[in-house]
Amino acid sequence: MGIVLLAAVAVGGVFYVLRTYTVSTVYVEGNVHYTDEAIKDIVMKGFLGNNSLYLSLKYKNRGVKGIPFVDVMDVTILAPDAVRITVYEKALTGYVEYLGTYLYFDKDGYVVESSSVLTEGVPQITGLAFDHMAVGEPLPVENKEVFNSILNVTRLLTKYELDADKINFQKSGEITLYFENVKVALGTESDKMEDKIMLLPELLPSLQGKNGTLQMETYDEGGGRYTFKPE
pLDDT digits (tens, 9 = 90+) for 114-171: 888 888 888 999 988 888 888 888 888 888 888 888 989 999 999 999 989 999 998 8
Selection from 194, 160, 166 nearest residue 180 by Cα: 166
Give the tens place of pLDDT for each residue, 67-115: 778 888 888 889 888 899 898 888 888 999 998 899 998 888 888 888 8
Buried b (16+ CB within 10 A) or exposed e, 47-69: ebebbbbbbbeebeeeeeeebbb
Q: Are the C-beta atoms of 231 and 212 separated by less than 8 Å?
A: yes
Mean pLDDT of the chain: 83
pLDDT band at 56 (very low <50, low <70, confident <90, very high): confident
The per-residue pLDDT for 90 is 81
The per-residue pLDDT for 178 is 93
Domains of the chain (ranges plus CATH)? 21-89 (3.10.20), 94-230 (3.40.50.10960)
Q: Are the C-beta atoms of 95 and 150 separated by less than 8 Å?
A: no
